[in-house]
Structure 1
Amino acid sequence: MSDSWRLACDTYQLAVTASEVESRTDPENEPYRSKYRARELLREVRALLRPREEEDDSSGRRQEETGDRQEGEEDRLLAARLGVIEYKLGVNHTETEEMSAGEEHLVKCGRILERYRLSEDCVSAYIQAQNNLGILWADRGEIIVAQTYLESAESLYFQYMKEIGKPPMDPDDHFLSEEKKLTEQERSKRFERVYTHTLYYLAQVYKHLKQDEKSAQYCHTTLQRQLEYDGYSPVEWAINAATLSQYYLAKQCYMESRHCLAAANIIFSKAEQVVSPETTKENESEQDRIEFLGQKKAEIARCWVKYCLNLLQDSRKSLEDNIGELDVDIQDELKAQRRKEEDEKERGRKKAVLFGSSDIYDSILAVEEKVDCCYPLDFKEAREVFLIGQNYVNEAKEFFQLDGHVTDHIEIIRDHSALFKVLAFFEDDYERRCKMHKRRVDMLEPMCKELNPQYYLLVCRQLQFELADTYYEMMDLKVAIGNKLDELDSHTIKKINTLAQSAIDYYEMFLDSLRSPDKKFPEKLDEDVLRPALVAKFHIARLYGKLICTDQKKQLQNMQTSLNYYLFIVEYCERYEDAIKSVETELELSKEMVALLPTRMERLRARLTSF
């Protein structure tokens, strides 16, 4: 090893140390001090590699000028080393937020290595330069340009593996002595990690391009490869797996969604057991680390809540009849169908894309076995899913508390309420069903009263509407219970009326929130509140019709109020025909009631005047 080459290698190692180690302790007022030092050292290496400035970026151009002369090994090695330096300078500039300079060096790296990109000396550095150019252009919002660079990197990986296949040199290997160079096994692992990064960035690019299925495929492959080549941080991996589960959830692929969530649990547990650079930043206290892990654990728990809720809701859709009640015939049919398919369940599992090697798969399977991925078909099965969802609700609330995380906390509580709502569908005892809805009221009502609409208007509206719907359902259940009695007793009548009035009050609160500061109701409703507002009007109209009243004058008053609300819907849709498609069913029923109620009211008036 010549003195010049030894100096180049030593200087390169100093640059790596400055950039990757010393930079962690840079002072706040000089955050890039070590990065700048690394940059100067890399420039010194480049000068040692290319002593004569008039020489071009690589030996490649010189060889083009001499025709078809065979490329020499020395020329290729020089190009590879210069390419690595340009790549490192490109990364250095982007890390110090000098994007244009970073792009210039990365492009230069590609130009230097272009003719040698399929050689084991150059392929890894070339792909990494393409990856970084992809990231750089994605950060600029130029997603198509980013896609071009990343797909080029992907294509080169496949071409190299097909034509060469030998583990290539890692960029750092070029500046190490023979005894310090990486083993073939380590080279292979590092190269595969480089390609995994390509897939990771492509997954994000395809997501930006709204190619969701392709994005999910790339994300799943990335996660699988990260496990295989041990190139991941447990927290980030777990969050990405939990996020991917929500894509499968939207596609109703419950087996895949559950598998992602189970894997997220297992991998996340590794982060809780060990202190890693990812969770222990410089000058970070143990309390900060605990809070960071608590937040990520709660985020995964929320994904589990969505899984349980969606599974129950989709099951409900498959079982309900045309009035929203459980259809026993469909239930029996689906149970018989499931028994036939039990033996195919394991075959379905094998078709699913699975994570991990045998050392963690058993742990993942143990988590999966605690919750089914098939639709629950009766109350017992639904309750099992509900209880798991409820456990994760409690886990999520440990971090996302009302004090400090208002919006997140309320969304979790609303999911909890939705779990009770869908569980009630499977319950055939009306009294018990009513108690489940009462649990919903008990968790939603305090928040609705506590929140200031001035700051949380949208959230308040959501809570008001949900509380109104809940009281409405409870009233319907009490009416159904009363209908089974020979005669309605005063207690039942009072309960029905109280529930109906509570529903009316919350619907009115919601409608009042739409009024202008001078208390006027909008002439034309905004698109986002059009259907909720008209449905609220419709429900209030029906509720006034359901109030049980012995005083016939009061009854007539209620009928007039009911008619007024029905008329509002009909007249609004006459004025704004584009609203019709939002409330077709409600409008049809409103028209019927507008035609019927005046006649009923006349009869009641006639009876009143006859006394």
Structure 2
Amino acid sequence: MASINSSEWRALCDKFTTAQNLSEVECLKDPANDPFRSKYKARELLREIYCSLKDFQAGGEEGENDSRGEDGAARPQTLDGGEKELDGFGGGSGGDSEAGLGDARLGAVEYYLGVNHVETEELSAGQEHLMNCIKRLDKCSVSPENVSLFINVRNQLGILWAGRDETETAQGFLETAESIYLRYMKDEGSPPTDMTEYFSTEENLLTHQERSKRFELAYTHTLYYVAQVYKNLGEIERAASYCHSTLQRQLKLNQFNPMEWALNAATLSQYYITKGRYMEGRHCLSASTVIAGLEGEVPSEDAAQESEAKSERRDQLRQKRAEIARCWIKYCLNLLQDAKKQLEDNIGELDADRQEELKRARRQEEEEEKGKKSTLVFGSDDTFDSIASLEEKVQYLLPLDFTEARAAFLVGQNYCTQAKEYFEMDGYVTDHVEILRDHSALFRSLAFFEDDLERRCKMHKRRVDMMEPICMDLNSQYYLLIRRQLMFELAETYNEMMDLKLTLANRQDDAEALEHHTVKKFNHLCSSSTKYFQMFLDSLRSPDGKFPERLEEEVLRPALVARFRVARLYSRLISPVLATQLDNLDLSLENYKNVVQYCELHPEAAAAVETELELSQEMVTLLPIKINRLKAKLNTDDNN
């Protein structure tokens, strides 16, 4: 490369600094009717820098077929697919170091021009410049002078192709960026030259620490984009791993927006929860809560003098913290539900033998989990203690008895209260009802661990008290789906309460006490369950009252199960009057027949309700025998 005198070099560096300032600072002040004014000015300066560098280029490159005209305008480049990993950690002949640095500088200008075009929504031109940068770098070996540019340009191409839904092409660029970083750190390890230093005077070069931070931040961006690519490819486990690494690095580098980081960590926790990885899920949520606190307190509400910006900020903070609270609810709920699955026997009750077996295995499980923890930790010394302190308040091992289950329940219930403070019924109906149903599910899961059937019944009564008023108040025209969900859950809750009352009644020794104190309550619960199942079925009818001949897939099983349950409930109503018993059994038989007939007309439905269909077929055979016996007895009584 030809020599550049100091005054020319300073002028070129100043021009680059001005272009950077226009691109990153002044652009924020551009008017709405001319949003890219500063970007366009920066582009012209970058083109001038490119031409100046070409003028200084060594004569040995004069015969080269450049992909750019003398005016600095990009010529079209084609791209058939994503990059493959470099065959070696060198690639290209390189030439002498000065020539290599010249290509790197020209490549850097191509990079900045490419980013400029992408930011001004000229994607094709942006792609051309970025590919010209790649072509320049193909002449160079990866070195401390250019590795940052190698990675950043591939990051940008990965983003560009991902935005076009060309995920596999994006994957190629990003995985190459990752492999370049890993190989460089293995072979060199020292903080490399930053791209901005190509156009810096000696006194403005970055410190060792600043270079390291910028290089590590570029790699953090690589990991973030790779995580998105894997997510789009359906490789969720790999996406979660990259997301976790990204969050760790953002904290380590102190390059993050607290609330955005907190929401990403809370979202990641939901993946871990679905995989039963509660230690990881708890750590993500604890870190999320602590980091969200770095945003400060929610501004107080002063309607008289509050600015619109302050009001919007307060609302955003409240909403995001409520969303984190909802993630905590899911954590506690899934923990309890997974414990229930581990502990229940074939009739849905707690298996004491299994409980003891799991308790014996717990110590080994705790030791195994401790080994994982060191690789998962978020936070610097400043935040680690706060995260660890919050973690200690919430268990991650599956609860094995009522005391442990209640501890998890109370945490979940507390977050339900927090979430409902923002997602109020007035304005957030869907969200409020979902939180309400999660709260109900927490009670249901806790009830599984309760030995006292009376107390268990009271827990289900709390569920009814939460849902029933909402269900009755919601407008069917606007919230039909939500009402159906509530109707079905209320029907099942009343059904559980009825079963508990019957179990309690069967423990009574005194038949008279059973008759006097229980029958009325039992029938009330039975009738309430029937009422809500029937309301659910009636909600499926057309405006003229006709039940659909073919049920939609999303309501097929619920509808047939509701029919089956209604049939069962009518057969269980207790009455001393034979005529009433007959009426109830007739209604029971009618509903059992409905299930059987529907599955005969639509054979594909049988797979959705195998157990219920089998029992219905059996009852269609047996119930007429019972009905005929009752009729005979009734006739005998009438004749007498």
TM-score with structure 2 setting the length: 0.88
Whole-Å Cα distance in 2 between the matches of residues 249 and 255 of structure 1? 9
1:559 aligns with 2:578: no
2:107, 2:133 within 8 Å by CA — same for their partners in 1?
yes
Residue aligning to 1:420: 443
Whole-Å Cα distance in 1 between the matches of residues 51 and 475 of structure 2? 65
1:170, 1:190 within 8 Å by CA — same for their partners in 2?
yes
Q: 2:405 aligns with which of 366, 378, 382?
A: 382
Q: Alignment partner of 2:206: what SS? A: coil
1:545 aligns with 2:549: no
Whole-Å Cα distance in 2 between the matches of residues 114 and 351 of structure 1? 40
Residue aligning to 1:475: 498
Q: 1:355 aligns with which of 378, 384, 402?
A: 378
Q: 1:199 aligns with which of 212, 223, 226?
A: 223
Q: CA deviation at 1:218?
A: 1.1
Residue aligning to 1:159: 183
Residue aligning to 1:530: 556
Q: Alignment partner of 1:285: what SS? A: helix
Q: CA deviation at 1:391?
A: 0.9
Identity %: 57
Whole-Å Cα distance in 1 between the matches of residues 593 and 355 of structure 2? 40
Residue aligning to 1:110: 134
1:451 aligns with 2:474: yes
Residue aligning to 2:72: none
Q: Alignment partner of 1:407: what SS? A: helix
Which structure 2 residues correspond to residues 30-179 of structure 1 after superposition, within 5 A?
A: 30-51=34-55, 71-116=95-140, 118-179=142-203
Higher mean Cα deviation, 581-590 or 230-239?
230-239
1:535, 1:583 within 8 Å by CA — same for their partners in 2?
yes
Whole-Å Cα distance in 1 between the matches of residues 502 and 62 of structure 2? 86
Which structure 2 residues correspond to residues 212-251 of structure 1 after superposition, within 5 A?
A: 212-251=236-275
Higher mean Cα deviation, 477-486 or 51-60?
51-60
Residue identity in the other structure for 2:459:
M
Cα separation, partners in 2 of 1:186 and 1:470, compared to 1, 3 Å: same
1:16 aligns with 2:39: no
Residue identity in the other structure for 2:592:
Y
Q: CA deviation at 1:55?
A: 9.5
Residue identity in the other structure for 1:116:
C
Residue identity in the other structure for 1:503:
S
Q: Alignment partner of 1:326: what SS? A: coil
Whole-Å Cα distance in 2 between the matches of residues 3 and 531 of structure 1? 80
Cα separation, partners in 2 of 1:54 and 1:454, compared to 1, 3 Å: farther
Whole-Å Cα distance in 2 between the matches of residues 56 and 127 of structure 1? 28
Q: CA deviation at 1:160?
A: 2.1
Q: 1:263 aligns with which of 287, 297, 309?
A: 287
Cα separation, partners in 2 of 1:77 and 1:427, compared to 1, 3 Å: same
Q: Alignment partner of 2:296: what SS? A: helix
Cα separation, partners in 2 of 1:95 and 1:405, compared to 1, 3 Å: farther
Whole-Å Cα distance in 1 between the matches of residues 180 and 435 of structure 2? 46
Which structure 2 residues correspond to residues 432-443 of structure 1 after superposition, within 5 A?
A: 432-443=455-466
Whole-Å Cα distance in 2 between the matches of residues 496 and 348 of structure 1? 52
Higher mean Cα deviation, 15-24 or 306-315?
15-24
Cα separation, partners in 2 of 1:544 and 1:192, compared to 1, 3 Å: same
Q: CA deviation at 1:416?
A: 0.7
Whole-Å Cα distance in 2 between the matches of residues 190 and 291 of structure 1? 34
Higher mean Cα deviation, 487-496 or 342-351?
342-351
Whole-Å Cα distance in 2 between the matches of residues 174 and 231 of structure 1? 24
Residue identity in the other structure for 1:481:
L
Whole-Å Cα distance in 2 between the matches of residues 544 and 610 of structure 1? 24
Cα separation, partners in 2 of 1:123 and 1:346, compared to 1, 3 Å: closer
Whole-Å Cα distance in 1 between the matches of residues 441 and 247 of structure 2? 31
Whole-Å Cα distance in 2 between the matches of residues 394 and 56 of structure 1? 73
Q: CA deviation at 1:345?
A: 6.0
Q: CA deviation at 1:329?
A: 2.2
Q: CA deviation at 1:605?
A: 0.5
Whole-Å Cα distance in 2 between the matches of residues 56 and 452 of structure 1? 80
1:395 aligns with 2:418: yes
Q: CA deviation at 1:405?
A: 2.0
The unaligned stretches of length 5 or more in structure 2 are 67-91, 300-306
Residue aligning to 2:69: none
Q: Alignment partner of 2:138: what SS? A: helix
1:552-580 Cα deviation digits (max 9, x unpaired) = 21211110110011111112222222222
Residue identity in the other structure for 2:284:
C
Cα separation, partners in 2 of 1:218 and 1:342, compared to 1, 3 Å: closer
Q: 1:302 aligns with which of 326, 344, 365?
A: 326
Q: CA deviation at 1:350?
A: 4.1
Whole-Å Cα distance in 2 between the matches of residues 58 and 311 of structure 1? 69
Q: 2:543 aligns with which of 496, 517, 528?
A: 517
1:305, 1:390 within 8 Å by CA — same for their partners in 2?
yes
Higher mean Cα deviation, 289-298 or 592-601?
289-298
Q: Alignment partner of 1:355: what SS? A: coil
Q: CA deviation at 1:33?
A: 2.3
Residue aligning to 1:65: none
Higher mean Cα deviation, 83-92 or 226-235?
226-235
Cα separation, partners in 2 of 1:257 and 1:58, compared to 1, 3 Å: farther
Residue aligning to 1:289: 313
Q: CA deviation at 1:35?
A: 2.0
Residue identity in the other structure for 1:31:
P
Cα separation, partners in 2 of 1:392 and 1:202, compared to 1, 3 Å: same
Q: CA deviation at 1:343?
A: 6.7
Whole-Å Cα distance in 2 between the matches of residues 566 and 197 of structure 1? 60
1:502-538 Cα deviation digits (max 9, x unpaired) = 2112111211222223322121222221111111111
Residue aligning to 1:279: none
Whole-Å Cα distance in 1 between the matches of residues 109 and 449 of structure 2? 66
TM-score with structure 1 setting the length: 0.93
Taking only aligned residues, the RMSD between alpha carbons, in angstroms, comes to 2.5
Residue aligning to 1:280: none
1:315-370 Cα deviation digits (max 9, x unpaired) = 111111111111222223322333x4377266445465322344432222111110
Whole-Å Cα distance in 1 between the matches of residues 56 and 179 of structure 2? 35
Whole-Å Cα distance in 2 between the matches of residues 404 and 323 of structure 1? 41
Q: Alignment partner of 2:144: what SS? A: coil
Q: Alignment partner of 1:438: what SS? A: helix
1:86-114 Cα deviation digits (max 9, x unpaired) = 11121122122221121111111111222
Whole-Å Cα distance in 2 between the matches of residues 32 and 58 of structure 1? 35
1:246-283 Cα deviation digits (max 9, x unpaired) = 111111111111111111112221222699xxxxxxx9
Residue aligning to 2:208: 184
1:190-211 Cα deviation digits (max 9, x unpaired) = 1111111111111111111111
Residue aligning to 1:337: 361
Whole-Å Cα distance in 2 between the matches of residues 58 and 361 of structure 1? 58
1:4, 1:48 within 8 Å by CA — same for their partners in 2?
no
Q: Alignment partner of 1:50: what SS? A: helix
Higher mean Cα deviation, 134-143 or 31-40?
31-40
Whole-Å Cα distance in 2 between the matches of residues 395 and 83 of structure 1? 53
2:298, 2:318 within 8 Å by CA — same for their partners in 1?
no
Whole-Å Cα distance in 1 between the matches of residues 292 and 340 of structure 2? 32
Q: CA deviation at 1:395?
A: 1.5
Cα separation, partners in 2 of 1:87 and 1:204, compared to 1, 3 Å: same
1:570, 1:590 within 8 Å by CA — same for their partners in 2?
yes
Whole-Å Cα distance in 1 between the matches of residues 581 and 16 of structure 2? 91
Whole-Å Cα distance in 2 between the matches of residues 59 and 501 of structure 1? 93
